[in-house]
Amino acid sequence: MQLCTRTGVVPSSLRIVRSPVGPWAIEGNDEGVTRVYMPHERTGPNTPRASRVVKDAQRQLEEYFAKTRRAFDLALITEKATSFQRECWAVLADIPYGAVATYAQVARSVGRPFAARAVGNANHANPWPIFIPCHRVVASNGLGGYGGGIAVKEFLLELEVYLVAPQA
């Protein structure tokens, strides 16, 4: 996974990917993927022409939902991100398929052992859910939150065969 900073305005394209929890949308251009929209977020329809990168991201996400892909090979582009967010996202990208890490573990991994809440904020700012797997980060005492909702987080973890204990 390659994370780049965008250096100008490049026309973007959009592709919708259907999933059991609703449609996801991938936005990007020939430089990389700029954003993934979760099922609860509104987007427009597929653009008439999609960039090669967006079509490839669409194919990879469809393979993920079909359980034939466990890792992604894409260029990701962001216009804005703090160095802390980038550090957190790099740690998230290294969490293996089917595994989880706690917010505290991610905080320790970036050298800020008392920044578990800040890790949660960085996860919430992640523009590429699934590609940068913020759903694999859980609280020490349960699932924790997820921008797409707990039901979507549970679905993604179950898809990856991580067994989710029922919430009380």
On the question of pLDDT at 116 being above 70, the answer is yes
Residues classed as catalytic? 134
Segment 32-54, tens digit of pLDDT: 999 999 999 988 888 888 999 99
Would you tell me how many other CB atoms lie within 10 Å of the CB of residue 107? 22
Helix pair 116-124, 83-93: axis angle to 10 deg: 80
Distance CA 141, CA 128 (A): 25
pTM: 0.88
How many CB atoms neighbour CB 40 within 10 A?
11
Tens of pLDDT, residue by residue over 82-112, are 999 999 999 999 999 999 999 999 999 999 9
How confident is the model at residue 79, as a pLDDT?
A: 80
pLDDT of residue 111: 97
Contacts for 94 with CB less than 8 Å, ≥ 6 apart: none
